[in-house]
Amino acid sequence: MQLQNKIFKNKRYIVLSLSVAILFYLLNAVISDIFSIKSFYSNYKFLFALKLTYLDILGFHNRILTHSFVSLIIISILFGILVSLLTYKTSKNLSERKNKSGFIASAGIFLGVLAPGCITCGVGLASLLGLGAFLTFLPYEGLELSLLSIILLLFANYKVSKTLLNNNSCKIKQKPLNLKKLKGGK
């Protein structure tokens, strides 16, 4: 938390987080209704189609189920925060010997883009792959994947924060000094 307070004191990172979160949300809003949006631009003049697209995006929460909408909002926010943390890390030229958090972040982002809500709601790229019908056997129709994504993103945020706090130094485990060894003895 103290690290995030430190980073987000700089308004640039707040703007970056919000921008990424909003973009991610908008991407899902558009993807979930790409068919209708294509229809608008095929059948009406550009400005009218733009108006319809705007209304379509504005009414996105009406087109999906509530739990899916909540899940998408959470993933968008976590994604935005993670991007800011990673940007900060890059700007400080901090490299990491162990890249586990990089993979977890990627996995979290991947799942978040793939299934930020229930797939049959039409959100996420998995629905474009036609996985909606395939995943309806799941009790929450694919929402489980978004929950996994949230967990991974939370963990990735935590891991990246920890790396930044430690300034990429390895903590020495405190052991009692062995004076004999130091003196060259056995």
Partner 1 sequence: MQEERKSDTITIKKDSLWKYSTVILGAILILVVAFAILPGKSTTGAVVGTQPGNNLPSEGARVETLDLGDDPMLGDKNAKVTIVEFSDYQCPFCRKFWQDSYPAIKENYIDTGKANLVYKDFPLSFHPMAVPSANAANCVQEIGGDEAYFKMHDKLFEEQNILDGGTVSSTVQFTEQDIKNWAKEIGYDIASCVASNKFDSEITEDFSYGASVGVEGTPGFLIGNDKNGYVPISGAQPYSVFKQVLDAELS
Q: Of 80, 117, 132, 142, which lies in the binding site for partner 1, with binding defined by CB under 8 A? A: 132
Cβ neighbors of 170 (< 8 A, separation 6 or more) are: none
Considering only the stretches 76-84, 100-108, 149-157, 177-185, report the one whose residues sit in contact with partner 1 under the rule CB under 8 A: 100-108
Check binding of 115 to partner 1 (CB under 8 A): no
| C-alpha span between 120 and 99 (Å, rounded) | 34
8 binds partner 1 (CB under 8 A): no
| Integer Cα distance of 39 and 15 in angstroms | 33
Check: CB of residue 104 under 8 Å from CB of residue 152.
Answer: yes
Nearest distance, CB of residue 46 and partner 1, angstroms: 14
Question: Could you give the residue ranges of the DSSP H alpha helices within the chain?
Answer: 2-7, 11-31, 34-43, 46-58, 60-63, 66-91, 100-114, 125-128, 131-134, 143-165, 179-182
82-90, 102-110, 148-156, 157-165 -> range binding partner 1 (CB under 8 A): 102-110
Under rule CB under 8 A, residue 15 binds partner 1: no
**Interacting residues with partner 1 (CB under 8 A):** 31-36, 38-44, 48, 51-52, 55-56, 58-59, 62-67, 97-100, 102-103, 106-107, 109-110, 113-114, 120-123, 125, 127-130, 132-133, 136-137, 140-141
